[in-house]
Chain A
């Protein structure tokens, strides 16, 4: 439990850190923290329920993109800044590291395992994002179709 809490907290702080690196509007730094927290929470919950890293990454990517789209509508800003900062904790940095560490110590079996994990994580995040964008695009079109003519 302690470990989960420290992970969630450091995910939020890491997102804020990247918000600073990418010169995010200072008003949105709390939003970046919440985004990183939520993305990792979604990952942990999905990983616990489904015990599949790919599906967990997919769901977490989906949540991050959905969060960014919702926030972009509320703040009248582009969704990219929110999405980039929220998805930061999902980047598979550790598996990439363990993969190359295994290559250096010529443990090819482990290298294959971690390489596969890295690739699956990236693919999962991308698929999750894609689903969220399709929904956002659909809602935008429905909005134009249903709301505008009544004005």
Chain B
């Protein structure tokens, strides 16, 4: 590989790291994968440093000076488990038999081009909210209404989130709207249990995955990234609680 080629390879490598991070992988997994791929392409020395908001890779190829590239990650890490699985499979394939850099790029772009079907996401939101409303002791009617509110959450995620300054603001507005609409529905139908329905919705909005991932990061030794994500998760949970509290307070308590 020439110097320009190494630079190109490094760019794709970082893209791979970003894709992994955005599909919900732990920092440990991102660093490990990048190290393995670089080693498979014959790197003499690789230094990968990943935190939730940035990736830094320094790569030394034989007979070449070391090169460093950085990428700032601005998107909050989402969750796309199918993409995570495919990226993992790609990394295994590459480590077994490294293809040309162009081929690597082509395969990576093919994985990144796939998008989850929104219909399945909507179905999942409804199913999850209804199930957890029943799970925590609600009746079937409570589950049904939780499903309706889940449609509202899904709509807000698609149409309202782009207008929000950041995730915190969105979380507040979303939980507030859910609280208000649930309590309004419960005024109309007095046999509904507002608390069970709200708990079902909370399970949708609560950053439970972020919390587990952050604890996982900390326990595996990535204390900086873990702490960043932990603070974010606690902030999101607090804002969720604030939004719901505001709704409950405005409506004069649970009817």
Contact = CB atoms under 8 A, between A and B. Distances in A.
Nearest to A91: B208
Interface residues of A, number: 45
Interface string B38-81: 00000000000000000000000000000000000000000111
B132 A126 contact: no
B203 interface: yes
Contacts of A97: 195, 198-199, 202, 244
A11 interface: yes
Contact of A100 (B80, B129, B132, B245): B245
A99 B199 CA distance: 12
A30 interface: no
B126 interface: yes
Contacts of A88: 128, 203, 208
Contacts of A22: 24, 79-81, 124, 209
A14 B127 contact: yes
Given A14-B135, A80-B29, A96-B202, A104 B208 contact: no
A130 to B, nearest CB: 5
Given A13-B131, A77-B88, A101-B254, A20 B241 contact: no
A23 B126 CA distance: 14
A84 B130 CA distance: 19
A105 B215 contact: no
Task: Give the interface size class of chain B.
Answer: 35 or more
Contacts of B195: 97-98, 101
A121 to B, nearest CB: 11
Nearest to A12: B131
Interface string A117-128: 000001001100
A85 B203 CA distance: 13
A101 B249 CA distance: 9
Given A104-B249, A104-B253, A126-B215, A20 B124 contact: yes
Contacts of A98: 195
Nearest to A6: B134
A135 B254 CA distance: 46
Interface in A59-112: 77-78, 80-81, 83-85, 87-89, 91, 93-94, 96-101, 103-105
Nearest to B249: A104
B127 A17 contact: yes
Given A19-B124, A78-B84, A129-B215, A14 B131 contact: yes
A25 B80 CA distance: 9
B36 interface: no
B81 A14 contact: no
Nearest to A64: B212
Interface of B: 24-26, 29, 79-85, 88-89, 116, 120-121, 123-132, 134-137, 143, 195, 198-199, 202-204, 206, 208-209, 211-212, 215-216, 219-220, 237, 241, 244-245, 248-249, 253-254
Given A23-B120, A89-B135, 8 more contacts: A17-B131, A20-B124, A23-B80, A78-B84, A91-B203, A96-B202, A100-B245, A104-B245
